[in-house]
Amino acid sequence: MNKILRIIGNLSTVAVTGMIIFSCTSNPDTAGLEYMPDMYRSPAIEPYVDYGEVRGVINENFKNKMSALIPPKYTVPFVGTDTLDVLLSLPYLRKPSAAFASTHGLFGWDFSSNTTPDFDYNEAAKDLNPLKITVSNSEQIFKKGKELFTANCQHCHGEKGDGQGPMVVSGAYAGVPNYVDKAALGDGQIFYSIYYGRNAMGGHASMLSKKEIWTLVHYVRKFQNASYGTFSADGKGTTVATLADSTKTAVAKN
């Protein structure tokens, strides 16, 4: 009996030793022989991967389809603990006109129930920018605004906001306005236009967060008034850019 147990023990030792030896490799970029792949790599879905073929199994229904899909409707991306950031993650109060389904490709969106053209756009004139400019954050806001504007707007609206961007100068597009001519628009109307799109411009809701769009609203105001967002020696805003008394109301609605 003891002899049998010794034989079994020796065989087990040899088997384990062999597994260890043969699982090793000189290639520093590989983990060696994997006995349980799922223990090494999570089978979770990865973005931008074609799952039409997984481990040799082909599924025609999944071929050439991205795994990174649009989040479920009404999903709210709460990020961080800053109160303003969280409130700005809530769904936007204003709705697009039903016509936007065909003119701006907003398929499956919730549309305004009011049949008056531009009803929500006109109502947006009441909405003030909830992103308050202060002495301490004005430089940061305009720096971020310039970064966003350069990446998303400058090609049409121009570096100076005069509607003479490269795409317009080349003749590819026409009718892009000079921001100076739009100074009478409310903060909310500028936001609405960027969020959903306006005239020939497409919406940017899928590309920019609400906080980023409100940042762009401040940057656009700077084109319209060079002293916008500046402060006197006593820390008081030299323009109406501070929005001090309206911040809470504006945030609650946006």
What is the per-residue pLDDT for 34?
66
For residue 241, what pLDDT band results from cuts at 50, 70 and 90?
A: very low
Residue type, 254: N
227 plus 108 within the same structural domain: yes
In contact, 210 and 196? CB cutoff 8 Å: no
**What sign for the dihedral angle of Cα 230, 235, 237, 241?**
positive
Does some domain include residue 58? no
Residue range(s) defining the domain that contains residue 166:
83-253
The CA angle 179-182-188, to the nearest 5 degrees, is 105
What is the per-residue pLDDT for 245?
35
pLDDT tens-place string over residues 159-172: 999 999 999 999 99
pLDDT tens-place string over residues 96-140: 998 998 888 888 889 999 999 899 999 999 999 999 999 999 999
30 plus 89 within the same structural domain: no
Does some domain include residue 41? no
Does some domain include residue 131? yes
Structural domain count, the chain: 2
Q: How far apart are CA 241 and CA 228, in angstroms?
A: 6
User: Model-level pTM?
Assistant: 0.68
117 plus 8 within the same structural domain: no
Does some domain include residue 68? no
Q: Please report, for the domain that includes residue 127, its CATH number.
A: 1.10.760.10
Mean pLDDT of 71-83: 75
15 plus 107 within the same structural domain: no
User: What is the pLDDT of the chain when averaged over all its residues?
Assistant: 82
What is the per-residue pLDDT for 105?
86
pLDDT tens-place string over residues 1-35: 677 777 777 778 877 777 666 666 667 776 666 66
